[in-house]
Structure 1
Amino acid sequence: MRFADHKPVAVVVDGYSAGNFYPAAFAGLGAELVHVQSTPEFITTMSRPNLSAYAANVVGSDEAELVERLRAHSPTCVVAGQDGAVPMADRLGELLGVRSNGSALSPARRDKYEMIEALRSAGVRCAQQFKSTDPAAVVAWAQERGTYPVVVKPLSSAGSDGVRVCRTADEVRAAAENVLTVPNMFGTANAEVLVQSYLKGTEYIVDTVSADGHHYTCGVWQYEKTLLPSGRNIYNRDLLVDPESELVPALTSYLGEVLQALDVRWGPAHAEVIVTPDGPVLVEIGTRLNGNIHADFHDLCLGHNQAGLTAQAFVHPDRFIEQYGGRTYRKLRPAAVYNAPTTLDGVVASVDQSVVDEIAALDSVFTVSAKLRPGARISPTVDLLTSPLRAHLTADDDERLTADYERLTKLKDDVYHLA
Structure 2
Amino acid sequence: MRTESPAGVVVIVDGYSNASSLVTAFAACGFAAVHVLSSAEPRPAMIAPRAEDYREWLVCPDGDAVEETVARLAAWNPVAVVAGQEPGVPLADLLSERLGLATNGTALSAARRDKYRMIEALRAAGIRCADQFTSDDRESVVDWAERHADYPVVVKPLSSASSDNVYICHTAQQTDDAARKVLAAHSMFAERNTAVLVQSFLEGPEFCVDSVSADGHTYVTAVWAYEKTVVDGGRKIYDRDVLQDPEGPVVPELIAYVRQVLDTLGIRHGASHAEVILTERGPALVEVGARFNGAMEPEFYQRVVGVDPAALVALAYLDPAGFADRYGDGVYRRLLHAAVYEAPTTLDGVVESVEEAVVAKIGAIPTVHAVVARSAPGRRISPTVDLLSSPLRIFMAGADAESLLRDRTVVDELKDRVYRLR
Range of TM-score over shorter length: over 0.9
Instruction: Name stretches of at least 5 consecutive residues in structure 1 with no aligned partner.
Output: none
Deviates further, 344-353 or 407-416: 344-353
Deviations 1:132-174 (CA, angstroms, capped at 9, x unpaired): 0011111111111351111000000111111111111111111
Deviation at 1:331, TM superposition (A): 0.8
Deviation at 1:231, TM superposition (A): 4.7
- Equivalent in the alignment of 1:264: 267
The structure-2 alpha-carbon separation of the partners of 1:11 and 1:102, relative to structure 1 and needing over 3 Å to count, comes to same
Deviates further, 222-231 or 155-164: 222-231
> Which residue of 215, 240, 244 corresponds with 1:241?
244
Question: 2:111–2:121: 8 Å Cα contact kept in structure 1?
Answer: yes
Alignment of 1:191-270 (within 5 A): 191-228=194-231, 230-270=233-273
> Which residue of 104, 114, 117 corresponds with 1:114?
117
- Equivalent in the alignment of 1:380: 383
Question: 2:149–2:200: 8 Å Cα contact kept in structure 1?
Answer: no
Question: 1:166–1:231: 8 Å Cα contact kept in structure 2?
Answer: no
- The aligned length equals 418
- Equivalent in the alignment of 1:30: 30
What is the percent sequence identity of the aligned residues? 50
> Which residue of 352, 356, 367 corresponds with 1:353?
356
Question: 1:333–1:395: 8 Å Cα contact kept in structure 2?
Answer: yes
- Equivalent in the alignment of 1:86: 89
Deviation at 1:230, TM superposition (A): 3.2
> Which residue of 168, 179, 188 corresponds with 2:182?
179
Question: 2:276–2:283: 8 Å Cα contact kept in structure 1?
Answer: yes
- One-letter code aligned to 1:98: L
**Structure 2 residue 49 is the aligned partner of structure 1 residue 49:** yes
Deviates further, 100-109 or 224-233: 224-233
Which TM-score applies when normalising by structure 1?
A: 0.97
Deviations 1:249-303 (CA, angstroms, capped at 9, x unpaired): 1011101110111011111110100111100110000000110011111111111
Deviation at 1:402, TM superposition (A): 1.7
Deviations 1:31-53 (CA, angstroms, capped at 9, x unpaired): 22111122332222111112222
Alignment of 1:282-321 (within 5 A): 282-321=285-324
- One-letter code aligned to 2:50: N
Deviation at 1:229, TM superposition (A): 5.1
CA–CA separation in structure 1 for the residues paired with 2:270 and 2:35: 17
Deviates further, 45-54 or 268-277: 45-54
> Which residue of 96, 100, 108 corresponds with 1:97?
100
The structure-2 alpha-carbon separation of the partners of 1:107 and 1:131, relative to structure 1 and needing over 3 Å to count, comes to same
CA–CA separation in structure 1 for the residues paired with 2:304 and 2:263: 28
Instruction: Name stretches of at least 5 consecutive residues in structure 2 with no aligned partner.
Output: none
For the residue of structure 2 that corresponds to 1:219, the secondary structure is: strand
- Equivalent in the alignment of 1:142: 145
CA–CA separation in structure 2 for the residues paired with 1:189 and 1:137: 20
Q: Runs of 4+ in structure 1 displaced over 6 angstroms?
A: none
CA–CA separation in structure 1 for the residues paired with 2:105 and 2:339: 34
Which TM-score applies when normalising by structure 2?
A: 0.96
Deviation at 1:393, TM superposition (A): 0.8
Deviation at 1:60, TM superposition (A): 3.0
